[in-house]
Structure 1
Amino acid sequence: MPSQSYSIYRGVEEEDEAELHTEDAPQGNQKTNPKGSRFRISPQYQKLIIAITVSAFAAFILGYLSTRRTCTTCDINGGDSTSDESYEEEPEPIRMDWSDLKDLFTKYLKDGGQIEKTIRKVSRTAHPAGSPENEELADYILQTFQSYNMDHTWVASHFAELQFPHKSRPNTLKIIDGSNVTVEQIPIGDPDVYCPYSATGEVQGGLMYVNYGRPEDYKELQSWNIKVGGSLVIVRTGLISFAEKVHNAEEAGAVGVLIFPDSEETPVYGHVHFGTGDPNTPGFPSFNHTQFPPFKSSGLPKILAQPISLSSARTLLSKLGNSTVFEKWRAADFPSHGMGPALTRADHKIHLGVTNVACGVELHNVFGSITGRYEPEHYIVVGAQRDSWGPGAAKSGVGTTLVLELARTLTMMVHNGFQPRRSILFVSWDGGDFGSIGATEWLEGYLSMLHLKAAAYLSLDTPLLGDENFQAKTSPLFNSLIENVIKQVHSPLQSQQSIYDYMRLKGSNWKAQVIAPLQKDTSAFAFTAFAGVPALEFSFVEGSVPYKFLDTKRDTYENLNEVMHGRLPTVALSVAEAAGLSLIKLSHDHILPLDYAAYSDVLLKHLVNLQKYQKKLKSRGLTLDWLYSARGDYTRATQRLKKAIIQSDIHNEKVIQFFNVQIMRVEFYFLSQYVSAISSPYRHILLGRGEHTLEALMEHLSQDQNDINDSDLRKQIALFTWTLVGAANALNGEVWEVQRSF
């Protein structure tokens, strides 16, 4: 039988258009029907076409059902999963409630986890930035990310100038007489211990004991009419960072700082840059092609700094003259000693020489990512410092391990059908011991886009310093999230209780014990105060005695585990659970679980504190009325946003993303747009540093009447007020919705 060829024309709309068909004829002999005729198919071919169509449809259905990929997405608030028009052709995902998702996460976290083994591996030896050991560890982390089959893995390199001890000329400390002749050489201790970014050179002078070197310590000295200017100061570790101790000493007029541990013989390492990032390229990313500007960070000290051992500190303190030290200042296990600055021999002085040298180092940040399903352009970032001057079990070992464990767990969940709404970035930062350089340089490199991309940052730096108290250093936007999460994680000390219940039993005001402000020398602080990304940092700490081996060569797994009474892996697992559940909520809630109204309460508390300066302001013709009004604008804007979210269709992806963009940028709104990111990198008006901050305004108002500069005061009030107004306007949404109340 001759083969048949058919052509069906479906576009006929007018009678005068030709209709095409092919009659029974040998292939290729096509004819055109006369005008107005209709195409006819014989009954036997009609049956054939119907049979073929039914068979094809049945095959499609069977193929769809057999190859359909299950996809897990979750609404952790218990609601239905949402869909977007761009995903209409995809199969409907399986819906999971919060308890299902929590159980899935806990199962994968505990199955196959190797917390103890990994901590031991990454902290078996010192691995400072720029060392072969640190590069080897970076390769191990990259390979581990790749073994998880993550969506993306990569390494970002930065080039920074770091400071190291001189190989042939070590730093020196001695006592000299009036003729500059050495009377006694004071051993510093370990010659490898130093303060990166100390000024270099030689200084000499008296020696003044100033307790922890806090501003209040110097104020107390002033009240006793004891002057520090022109002398070196000796301070003990603790309470504030090395950088803050040196900054405060410089402000007080000291020429050098000696820092000692008051409970352990081993000297303690610590950088003294009063800031984060590469101080040689403030505000600029340290990429290899960057043309660096001819200025340095204002946070670089102009005075010398050096850590010393406990025995060296005892020797020096025993030689201090003048009045006996305040009892509350007396260092632990120290006999009574003088305050200084004069020594017991009036003609003797302290001489300090610092010979540290700068070296160019290539830093490597290692990334692994999981791509989000509905908002892939929004990132939840979780990271930890990798490098360590010593073995660094507490400093970097536990944090690095937890990043790897969370990456493994969440990737396993994804490979089994679970997909987050937002992307998750897991990062191992380099250069942390030099002031969070790796994290800060990455922020500087992508500053123009991160406020549109990064929704939150979770830091796992130094997450274990004890096992007694749980602590969350955080931006106020996370307060509600923290409470929610710690109610669902068992306390490592009382397995039948949650962390929340355990901390409540220790005191009625659990929030005061658990929630603390971000520390100023951390990557979390850089994310928030510099880039405007809300940050959160989890840790367990001791109640009274801090972990004494941090930043020493004795920061080993064995010593950390001993301090934690053999519970190191168990407590680390609790931190991993708290961090993991936080990551899940941040990456999967339809509406970002950030309490954007929290700053309204924070502002109210600060304004109440400002009221005590009303008379001082009024005498200068100034008022805080505009500031109060700006706070009111912000409060009303948060209320309108909350109402709009409640009344909106949360199944509409475009609506959800619109609200999430507003919420994730709340922290960014508190960065002052009136100061430069180069001269004032920490532009956050509530958490940052500089004349634009509330802290600077409060400090100015607390001065004596004669010390207040009216022009500067007006400027500070204006900077703070109009940044707050800008935050309120941004939350209001469109310009036609902004209502001026001034």
Structure 2
Amino acid sequence: MSTDRHHRYDAVPPIPTYEEAVADAPPHETESHSLLTSHNGAPSSSRRPNGYRAPTVETDDEDGLFESDDDDGDETAYVRREMQELEIGEPDRGSRTSLWGKRIPFSLSLPRWKWSWRWRLPRFRPTIVLPSGPTTSPSTTEGDESGTENRSRWRFSWPRFQGASRKQVILLLARIFAVFVVLSFLYLIFVSDVFSRMARRLGTGFRFDPEDVRSWVQGHVDPAGMATTVKHFTSYAHLAGTEGDYALALDIEHMMTRAGLDTVDVDKYHVYLNYPKKDGRAVQILDKDGKPSWTAKLEEEERGEQIVGRQTYAFHGHSKAGDVKGPLIYANYGSRMDFQQLQDRGVKTEGAIALVRHYGPQSDPALKVRAAELAGFAGCLIYSDPADEGADLDDVAPDGRYMPKDGVQRNSVSLTNWVIGDVLTPGWESKDGLPRMNVDQTPGLNQIPSLPLSWGDAQVLLKRLKGHGKKVPDAWKGGVPGVEWWTGDASSPVVRLKNEQHEVEKQPIWNVYGKIEGVEQMEKSVIIGNHRDAWGFGATDPHSGTAVMLEVARILGSLTTKGWRPLRSIEFMSWDGGAYNLVGSTEFVEANVDNLRTNAFAYVNLAGAVAGTELHAAGSPVFRQTLHRIMDRVNDPVRNATLRHLWEARHGELEALGMAGDYVPFRDIAGTSSIDLGFRGPRYPYHSNYDTYDWVKNVGDPSFIYHGVLAEVVALLVLELADRPILPFDLAGYADSLDGWVEDLVAWAKGKIKTGADAGEEKYALDQLKIAVHAIKSAAKTFSAWEHAWDSMIVSSGGWESGGLNNQRLEYNERMALFDTALLDLEKDGGIPNRTQFKHVVFGPQQWSGYNATFFPAIRDAIEEGDWDLASKITLKTAGLLRDAARVLVPSADA
């Protein structure tokens, strides 16, 4: 910033004293003499030495300040002295071309102005009006009592100027006007943000030192502010599409606007949702007369301190309505293998009610219900077993981490592996005027009713199974106390499952978007997303992620007010309906899919972001090196070590993405490289009404320490992705991962192929995948070499990048980002067969993979079904797309 001592102005001559003024005039007074003329234009003939005249007292009869006889020399001298003082800064009038005496320096910061002239207003003397009689000089009134009385009567009138005095006033007014114009111009430039807008349009901007930006961002994370956000967002229940959900959408819109984001928008969709009725759900044991002998509690104790409404009822999102009854049968985790084992042991399952527990090899609740449906069950109950939630029954919420006896885990049971988003509009957005399926047409819904239970309610049901069916194997035994584990059979107690609900086929939901525009490629975006709706109060899931996202928006928004801008745009997105079936994010992607495939460089997901103290990351391999750099500079304040040190101590790895987050539509439909970040730990009261602000404050993350640490990680990751001149994608690492995934696929396929003459990887053309991956590895190595060449050219030119080199760099970034997009099967009816929403040939769900990550899902499904021709066809298409992706990096890549 400029300071006074940096300005180089000429020294200001001293103001002359009265004695100096009446002495021989110095050189700079010569010009002033020519200005002292009489009213008729001739030089005044009567002057004291050096032209000084004594001041006079004017009367009403005087026409002007300078219209006096020779006796008024003192007054003329006074005027001359004033002119001399005003002309000090302009000694050379003949060469002056502007009213400004000096050039005003300009910089990004306003300097402290130092003027080369003195600011001084003319001294206007009042007119003295005598009541009558002749004009009186000062000498005639001195000592005269009546004269003294007359002088006490004053009347002020506007002064009249002519000659030199008029020029002085004009000069002063001109200077004041010039100062006003300059200050107005500076206000326009700096306060109205003209520069930053211009920079955004021109693709250039003022670059800040990247290290200073990183340090500033890390130093401005506010855990207390995030605690306030979580407390507010958990103050009432907010299922998708409800009044509470809409209120939070408006809150996020306001917070993004207040953060200083360039644009903030609310986007509405109309989707299929269901809601529980107060008395519409029941689980009962019926006696021989069909009367209920026991009724499950179903609901939890009131846990929240909500300001409106009540906590959410226990139910399943997207469940089937119905009122069914049948014998109770326990089926372990409810996987297809578990139901097959029941049948192998002779347990009849048709028309029964299944009781299964959460988690296990088939972790997706929707697939548990689906497997029960295919096994002939009439309904399905899913409970939280202490063996899976945490074996220590004393360390339970609200004072501990684990699910208490009455805790109920809510979930969506729509078939995410078949259809994501609105189940009535698979493949297109849910907007007015577009077609919609009927509820009974969609493949995304199960066809038997289901409900969640606490282990307290399940305990009663499990005890009633004693002596019915078969004793279960040890692997099936849970942690519910006081239970002798039996499977049950047709002789088991009859259980009624009632699920009456409100079903809305076109329920409004609201996404909220905020954006910081980039200065170099404003159309290219790095997106941070988190769903807002919750099954309960949602302090951990989703609002630890909401708090982190909004904190990053606040920090980066504040940074823009200081003049910083990223090279690429940064977008913050609050999804609605994420808890149901990733509805809000999927509808957005389907509505903007072409733009996202071209311009979305990366997607960062934050749901259930802080549930423990170990940093975990799952995502595309392109993020691996960048994540390591970030972990090197972020410390864990509790363990007093860098996150990288702790990561390596536990042998942490960048994990593969499954199907449990809003990254799914970005990765599988738009081909956007995606990553999911969060601190994980032991289980917590997941999706229950025990997941409250007080639980997070007292148990989950006291002082919100790890909220703050994750905010640092996310902010630094966003800066890396949005503000590095070259997009920091590790394509060589991606190629190595592809090589490993193909080897795993080959090994898995060999285990599925029956021994024989034709056994081997050639049966499914898997060797073609190996050849294609080899081409990608070679192309990635060649492609990455350009970055080193660019570095050398920038260093050798002293940091200057030519226009041609700039264009090459931007193209280089685009080709990096398009690599994942090139792995989409965009042919007509392309994608995974019968599940064509999923376009990515490497990532995506198998039919029964649930939340788990899988690679080459279409090939695996075809092999599992024994369709050899289809498996070969899909493999050859996949190999072709891999070769095309290599050509995106290097057009001449060997196919």
Counterparts of 1:711-730 in structure 2 under 5 Å?
Answer: 711-730=869-888
How far, CA to CA, are the matches of 1:573 and 1:326 in structure 2? 46
Shift of 1:143: 1.5
> What's 1:77 paired with?
none
> What's 1:383 paired with?
529
Shift of 1:162: 0.7
**Percent identity over paired residues:** 23
Structure 1 stretch displaced more, 711-720 or 120-129: 711-720
Shift of 1:587: 0.6
1:232 is aligned to 2:343: no
**Structure 2 SS opposite 1:109:** coil
**Structure 1 SS opposite 2:513:** strand
Relative to structure 1, the CA distance from residue 711 to residue 254 in structure 2 (aligned partners, 3 Å threshold; closer, same or farther) is farther
Shift of 1:402: 1.5
1:149 is aligned to 2:260: yes
How far, CA to CA, are the matches of 1:49 and 1:519 in structure 2? 81
How far, CA to CA, are the matches of 1:185 and 1:419 in structure 2? 64
Shift of 1:642: 1.2
> What's 1:672 paired with?
825
Shift of 1:226: 6.1
> 2:597 is matched with which residue: 423, 437, 451?
451
Counterparts of 1:582-597 in structure 2 under 5 Å?
Answer: 582-597=717-732
> What's 2:140 paired with?
none
Contact 1:533 1:668 in 2 (8 A): yes
> What's 2:775 paired with?
633
Contact 1:206 1:340 in 2 (8 A): no
1:247 is aligned to 2:350: no
> What's 1:274 paired with?
415
Q: Deviations over 1:179-235 (max 9, x none)?
A: 883463431512921111112223444433333334565566677676756543222
Shift of 1:102: 1.7
Contact 2:527 2:570 in 1 (8 A): yes
1:656 is aligned to 2:809: yes
**Structure 1 SS opposite 2:264:** strand
Code of the residue aligned with 2:478 in structure 1: it is: A
Using the size of structure 2 for normalisation, the TM-score is 0.68
1:134 is aligned to 2:273: no
> 2:383 is matched with which residue: 232, 255, 260?
260
Shift of 1:699: 5.3
**Structure 2 SS opposite 1:425:** strand
Q: Deviations over 1:703-739 (max 9, x none)?
A: 5xxx723322323323432332332233334xxx254
User: Mind listing any 5+ residue stretches in structure 2 that lack a counterpart?
Assistant: 1-91, 111-185, 192-198, 300-311, 387-403, 795-800, 848-853
How far, CA to CA, are the matches of 1:579 and 1:520 in structure 2? 21
User: Mind listing any 5+ residue stretches in structure 1 that lack a counterpart?
Assistant: 1-46, 71-83
How far, CA to CA, are the matches of 1:573 and 1:315 in structure 2? 43
Relative to structure 1, the CA distance from residue 490 to residue 419 in structure 2 (aligned partners, 3 Å threshold; closer, same or farther) is same
> What's 1:30 paired with?
none
Code of the residue aligned with 1:249 in structure 2: it is: A
> 2:621 is matched with which residue: 472, 476, 484?
476
Shift of 1:520: 0.7
How far, CA to CA, are the matches of 2:586 and 2:558 in structure 1? 30
Q: Deviations over 1:224-270 (max 9, x none)?
A: 67675654322222352322332343455544221111232222211
> What's 2:677 paired with?
538
> 1:404 is matched with which residue: 534, 550, 556?
550
How far, CA to CA, are the matches of 1:115 and 1:639 in structure 2? 43
> What's 1:619 paired with?
758
1:286 is aligned to 2:430: yes
Contact 1:682 1:690 in 2 (8 A): no
> What's 2:81 paired with?
none
1:695 is aligned to 2:857: yes
Contact 1:128 1:389 in 2 (8 A): yes
How far, CA to CA, are the matches of 2:636 and 2:109 in structure 1? 45
Relative to structure 1, the CA distance from residue 277 to residue 347 in structure 2 (aligned partners, 3 Å threshold; closer, same or farther) is closer
Code of the residue aligned with 2:322 in structure 1: it is: G
Counterparts of 1:3-18 in structure 2 under 5 Å?
Answer: none
Counterparts of 1:419-434 in structure 2 under 5 Å?
Answer: 419-434=565-580
Using the size of structure 1 for normalisation, the TM-score is 0.81
Shift of 1:56: 9.9
How far, CA to CA, are the matches of 1:683 and 1:339 in structure 2? 44
Contact 2:413 2:445 in 1 (8 A): yes
Relative to structure 1, the CA distance from residue 473 to residue 214 in structure 2 (aligned partners, 3 Å threshold; closer, same or farther) is farther
Relative to structure 1, the CA distance from residue 724 to residue 290 in structure 2 (aligned partners, 3 Å threshold; closer, same or farther) is same
1:562 is aligned to 2:698: yes
**Count of residues paired in the alignment:** 656
Contact 2:385 2:455 in 1 (8 A): yes
1:580 is aligned to 2:715: yes
> What's 1:647 paired with?
789
**Structure 2 SS opposite 1:395:** coil
**Structure 2 SS opposite 1:597:** helix
1:122 is aligned to 2:122: no
Relative to structure 1, the CA distance from residue 86 to residue 173 in structure 2 (aligned partners, 3 Å threshold; closer, same or farther) is closer
Structure 1 stretch displaced more, 688-697 or 130-139: 688-697
How far, CA to CA, are the matches of 2:101 and 2:595 in structure 1? 48
> 1:187 is matched with which residue: 296, 307, 318?
296
Shift of 1:618: 6.0
> 1:172 is matched with which residue: 271, 282, 288?
282
Task: Give the root-mean-square deviation of aligned CA atoms.
Answer: 3.4
Contact 2:518 2:566 in 1 (8 A): yes
